[in-house]
């Protein structure tokens, strides 16, 4: 493997799901790494022969070459290259890849992935900042969730708000998503004057409970949203 040059460490992220690659890019960039995306194993192997890499993050279930097969090829060519498996099939991949994969992290835990990456690279643990918002309880209000960035996902999911916040909200919805993914939330709150279909980023998923952080709100919309939240809380 070519010597590593000065600057952010480069991490190859391999996953056949576009929004997972977007989420990985967001989390890695936030803590100072450079993320290079690859949508399948063959593309990953081509990139590994063209650019200097400091680590690789692999999904397991991919077409043609799965994550373990890619890891075996990479490890044979670059024995010192750290490889992390980021997969929902954690127990199976760990049992089948001794000596090939340096760390295993279950999907939907990007914070743990960032910490594992720092560990295998011998970097100081990154500081993961969690924003906290004042929260206001709600009374069984519903919302509609869509995935605007998923090319094959046009369905709408109905959820129930648990609480709202100045900048975010929490709720229950029967839909699979990952932290960092962008979604569209539509609220039935007649007290608000703003357009109530808002882009939001998934902050966490815990069973059927999710947390969302609104993005792209103007200062005026933030102010009106804050007023709505207080009105709702007092209702």
Question: How many whole angstroms separate alpha carbon 171 and alpha carbon 127?
Answer: 27
Whether pTM > 0.75 for this model: the answer is no
Quote the pLDDT of residue 3: 43
Question: How many whole angstroms separate alpha carbon 89 and alpha carbon 104?
Answer: 10
CB-based contact 48:56 (threshold 8 Å): yes
Query: Does 234 score more than 50 pLDDT?
Result: yes
Look at 227 and 45; give whichever has higher pLDDT. Answer: 45
15, 26, 128 from 184: Cα distances, Å: 23, 18, 25
Look at 78 and 134; give whichever has higher pLDDT. Answer: 78
Quote the pLDDT of residue 5: 46
Question: How many whole angstroms separate alpha carbon 27 and alpha carbon 181?
Answer: 11
CATH superfamily, domain 135-234, is predicted glycosyltransferase like domains (2.40.10.220)
Look at 155 and 81; give whichever has higher pLDDT. Answer: 81
Which among 74-78, 99-103, 140-144, 222-226 has the top mean pLDDT?
Answer: 74-78
Per-chain mean pLDDT for the chain: 80
Q: Select from 3.40.50.2300, 3.40.640.10, 3.30.420.40, 3.30.70.20 the CATH code of 10-120.
A: 3.40.50.2300
- Which band of pLDDT confidence, cut at 50, 70 and 90, is reported for residue 136? low
Nearest to 152 by CA among 13, 39, 24, 18: 18
pLDDT digits (tens, 9 = 90+) for 153-178: 667 899 888 777 767 788 889 888 87
58 contact partners, CB below 8 Å, separation of at least 6: 14, 15, 44, 67, 70, 71, 83, 84, 85, 86, 87, 101
Percent above pLDDT 90 for the chain: 26
> Domain boundaries in the chain?
10-120, 135-234
206 contact partners, CB below 8 Å, separation of at least 6: none
């Amino acid at each position: 493997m070519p010597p590593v040059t000065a600057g952010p460490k480069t991490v190859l992220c391999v996953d056949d799901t576009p929004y997972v690659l977007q989420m990985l890019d967001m989390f890695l960039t936030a803590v100072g790494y450079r993320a290079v995306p690859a949508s399948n194993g063959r593309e990953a192997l081509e990139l590994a022969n063209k650019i200097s890499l400091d680590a690789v993050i692999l999904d397991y279930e991919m077409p043609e070459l799965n994550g373990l097969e890619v890891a075996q090829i990479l490890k044979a060519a670059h024995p010192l290259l750290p490889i992390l498996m980021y997969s929902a099939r954690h127990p199976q991949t760990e049992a089948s890849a001794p000596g090939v994969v340096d760390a295993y992290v279950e999907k939907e835990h990007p914070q743990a992935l960032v910490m594992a990456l720092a560990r295998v690279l011998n970097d100081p643990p990154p500081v993961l900042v969690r924003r906290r918002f004042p929260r206001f309880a709600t009374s069984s209000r519903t919302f509609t969730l869509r995935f605007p960035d998923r090319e094959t996902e046009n369905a709408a999911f109905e959820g129930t708000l648990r609480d709202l916040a100045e900048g975010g909200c929490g709720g229950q919805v029967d839909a699979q998503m990952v932290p960092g993914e962008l979604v569209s939330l539509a609220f039935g709150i007649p007290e608000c004057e703003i357009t109530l279909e808002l882009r939001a980023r998934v902050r966490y998923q815990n069973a059927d409970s999710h947390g969302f952080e609104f993005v792209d709100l103007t200062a005026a919309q933030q102010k009106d949203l804050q007023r709505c939240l207080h009105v709702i809380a007092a209702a």
